[in-house]
Amino acid sequence: MSNFYLEMMNGLNPESQEAMGQFFQRGNYPGGRINPYAYLGMDRKDNPGDKLYADIIRAQTADYMRKFAPVEDALAASITPTGTTSLEGDLTRTREAVMGAGLNIQGQQGRSMERFGVADNSGYSNQNANISALVGGLNDTRLRDSDRRDALLTGTTTALGQKARAGS
Amino acid sequence: MCGGGDNKGPAEAESRLALAQQSAIYYNRFQDVFGKFEDMAISDATSQFDTQNYESAMGSASNAAQGVYEQGQIDMNRAAYNRGFDPSSGAVQNESAALMAAKSRGMGLGASSAGIANTDRGFQMMGNVVNMGQGLANESMQGQIDVAQTGVDRVSRQAQQDFMRSSSLQNVAGTATGVAAGYGLQQRTV
């Protein structure tokens, strides 16, 4: 909002100021902005300051609902009785990472042994090591997901609930 | 009601409109300067769970683990050659197999951990966005409380006027201003 607008408004009589305010729309400008001078010239008994405050609150609430409420909903929806909805994806990635690394290393070991002209007999022991690593990895993934759930419950969402209660 | 005249109530203090205008200007400036950063933070938080972010984090971790174990393999092979060990011997094969198994575990679990850390980071970013939004919500709630209080103030002032105008109430209640002030105080402490 330019000073020109304010200067122009100040130069008008109260009736014209009010008419101009109506012309330029009371309250919100397009694009989530607020017209600070929308109630300039209004009779003070009509509480122009309160009306402008109300516009600000409406704009803030609309901004909050548009930007932040969907993220809060998504975060709350991600919490399950035992962890979060990300557990399945994390378990799949752990499985792929450990088994993929196992195959990769088995190939490396085979090629290394071939260079020495000897047979690679390490397959069985490597397979056991892989399964052991996989079990450990899956357990760790579950534990970390459970920790994540606790962090969400006692952190962000709790703070959110406390604030909502304090504000109501 | 006796007294007649203007029923709009007392005039609002001029400073109230000035303060509201100041708040509106601050709000507009916030939207202009920081609004786009809020949008960026929200976009980053939601895209943190995209596949390419997982692939990048897990790939880097796997490569880093591989690099760490490769140096150990080179050292072991060099030591075996220097000591004249037969590569087909059980000692060399067992050592090599153990190192390879450790490398596999390091790469697999390192990549897995990086993937989980990426998920954690996504949740953390979403939590930060929620906190940002809660700051905004708090401001909004505070504003609502201010407006409610202003409404109470106005009712109190109106009541004071009504009490002062009404001679019958004055007679019943004694000192009208005292009653009005008491009414106002009670309202303010709600």
- Residue B11, domain member (yes or no): no
Do B91 and B35 share a domain, yes or no?
no
For residue B57, which of B105, B106, B115, B108 has the smallest C-alpha distance?
B115
Report for B56-65, B85-94, B155-164, B176-185: range of highest mean pLDDT: B56-65
Do B29 and B59 share a domain, yes or no?
no
Per DSSP, the three-state class of A27 is: coil
Structural contact between residues A48 and B17, judged by C-beta atoms closer than 8 angstroms? yes
In A, which residues are within 8 Å of B6 by CB distance?
Answer: 45
> How many beta carbons lie within 10 A of that of residue B68, not counting itself?
13
Domain boundary among B43, B60, B80: B43
Q: Which residue range is the domain that position B134 belongs to?
A: 48-188
* pLDDT higher than 60, residue B135: yes
* Binary contact (A156, B17; C-beta < 8 A): no
> Residue B66 — very low, low, confident or very high, per pLDDT cuts 50/70/90?
confident
Do B35 and B73 share a domain, yes or no?
no
- In sequence order, the 6+-apart residues with CB closer than 8 A to the CB of B181 are B160
Do B136 and B116 share a domain, yes or no?
yes
- CA–CA min distance A89, chain B (Å): 9
Residues A123/A128/A132/A135 CA torsion (nearest 10 deg): 90
**Cα separations (Å) of A3 from A113, A167, B26?**
81, 36, 15
Tens digit of pLDDT for each residue in A90-108?
999 999 999 999 988 888 8
Tens digit of pLDDT for each residue in A20-41?
555 554 444 445 789 999 999 9
For residue A121, which of B70, B98, B97 has the smallest C-alpha distance?
B97
Q: State the total domains in chain B.
A: 2
Structural contact between residues B38 and B132, judged by C-beta atoms closer than 8 angstroms? yes
* pLDDT higher than 50, residue B190: no
- Residue B8, domain member (yes or no): no
Do B62 and B136 share a domain, yes or no?
yes
Q: What is the predicted pLDDT for the residue at B168?
A: 45
* Binary contact (B28, A1; C-beta < 8 A): yes
The pLDDT profile of chain A, 168 residues, written as one tens digit per residue, is 444 555 655 666 666 666 555 555 444 444 578 999 999 999 999 999 999 999 998 998 888 888 889 998 999 999 999 999 999 999 999 999 999 999 888 888 888 778 777 776 666 566 788 899 999 999 999 999 999 999 888 876 666 566 655 654
Do B73 and B26 share a domain, yes or no?
no
- Residue B6, domain member (yes or no): no
The mean predicted confidence, pLDDT, of chain B is 74
Do B34 and B124 share a domain, yes or no?
no
Task: Give residues 38 to 77 of A whose Cβ lies within 8 Å of B.
Answer: 39-40, 43-50, 52-57, 59-61, 63-64, 67-69, 71-72, 74-75
Q: What is the predicted pLDDT for the residue at B173?
A: 41
- Residue B124, domain member (yes or no): yes
- Residue B163, domain member (yes or no): yes
Nearest-by-Cβ selection for B108 from A68, A101, A144: A101
Token pair 């966005």 is at which residue? B129
Do B152 and B173 share a domain, yes or no?
yes
Chain CA centroid to CA B98, Å: 47
Handedness of CA B165, B171, B173, B176 (dihedral sign): positive
- Residue B3, domain member (yes or no): no
> Residue B79 — very low, low, confident or very high, per pLDDT cuts 50/70/90?
confident
What letters, b where the CB count within 10 A reaches 16 and e where it falls short, cover A123-133?
eeebeebbeeb
Nearest-by-Cβ selection for A105 from B17, B104, B129: B104
Do B54 and B137 share a domain, yes or no?
yes
Mutate to test the interface with B, among A29, A34, A40, A135 (most CBs of B within 10 A): A34
**Chain B contact present for A127, CB below 8 A:** no
Do B134 and B72 share a domain, yes or no?
yes
Do B38 and B71 share a domain, yes or no?
no
Do B39 and B99 share a domain, yes or no?
no
Higher pLDDT, residue B68 or A98: A98
* pLDDT higher than 60, residue B184: no
Task: Give residues 11 to 30 of B whose Cβ lies within 8 Å of A.
Answer: 11-14, 16-25, 27-28
Residues B100/B106/B112/B114 CA torsion (nearest 10 deg): -140
- Residue B4, domain member (yes or no): no
